[in-house]
């Protein structure tokens, strides 16, 4: 089972984590669409994948949302890499969503959720929904929603708006 850690690059926790383990981890780094690649990461890790999209779930002229191809790219990149650091701006939303999805590749969904700390992580709903579709497993989305309800992650209005916006695009069962 691969080792996955979640950090933030803007708060330098990713850089600190990597400095203690130079070259040991591969890094999936997610930045806002217009944010530069964080300094100090590239030289401290093995392979790096940089994805750039905003931490948003709803279409707007202000945000670049992730799409299915972007989420597929992140999941596919992680294949064969046993030690991963996944970092977004604060290490709370986009990185948590990718960490959960990548963990779903090599363990049951319920066990993959253990990578998340409900007191800290607020996985991006759109990334999780797209990842569930990319992995062809509706249980990932359903189990994630149950985890959110159980731990009061996110608010009801956000989730209702998300379902209204994206509900017809949810992965089909089977």
Q: What is the CATH number of the domain that holds 104?
A: 3.90.190.10
Q: Which residues are CB-neighbours of 97 under 8 A, at least 6 positions away? A: 123, 124, 125, 127, 128, 131
Whether 114 shows a pLDDT value over 60: the answer reads: yes
- Tell me, yes or no, whether 82 lies in a domain: yes
- Tell me, yes or no, whether 174 lies in a domain: no
- Tell me, yes or no, whether 113 lies in a domain: yes
Q: Supply the pTM of this predicted model.
A: 0.93
What is the pLDDT, as a whole number, of residue 155? 75
pLDDT one-digit tens code per residue, 118-161 = 999 999 999 999 999 999 999 999 999 999 999 988 877 777 77
- Tell me, yes or no, whether 24 lies in a domain: yes
Asked if 112 and 139 touch (Cβ cutoff 8 Å), the reply is no
Number of domains in the chain: 1
Residue 106: domain span: 3-169
- Tell me, yes or no, whether 158 lies in a domain: yes
| Average pLDDT value over all residues in the chain | 91
pLDDT one-digit tens code per residue, 60-69 = 889 999 999 9
């Amino acid at each position: 089972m691969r080792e996955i850690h979640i950090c933030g690059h803007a708060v330098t926790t990713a850089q600190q984590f990597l400095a203690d383990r130079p070259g040991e981890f591969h890094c999936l780094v997610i930045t806002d669409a217009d944010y530069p690649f964080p300094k100090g990461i590239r030289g401290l890790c093995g392979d790096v994948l940089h994805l750039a999209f905003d931490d948003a779930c709803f279409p707007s002229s202000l945000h670049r949302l992730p799409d299915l191809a972007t989420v597929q790219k992140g999941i596919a990149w992680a294949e064969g890499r046993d030690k991963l650091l996944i970092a977004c701006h604060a290490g709370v939303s986009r990185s948590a969503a990718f960490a959960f999805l990548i963990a779903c590749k090599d363990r049951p969904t319920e066990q993959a959720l253990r990578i998340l700390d409900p007191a800290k992580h607020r996985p991006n709903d759109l990334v999780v929904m797209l990842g569930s579709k990319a992995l062809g497993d509706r249980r990932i989305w359903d189990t994630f929603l149950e985890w959110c309800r159980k731990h009061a992650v996110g608010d009801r209005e956000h989730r209702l708006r998300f379902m209204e916006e994206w509900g017809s695009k949810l992965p089909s069962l089977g």
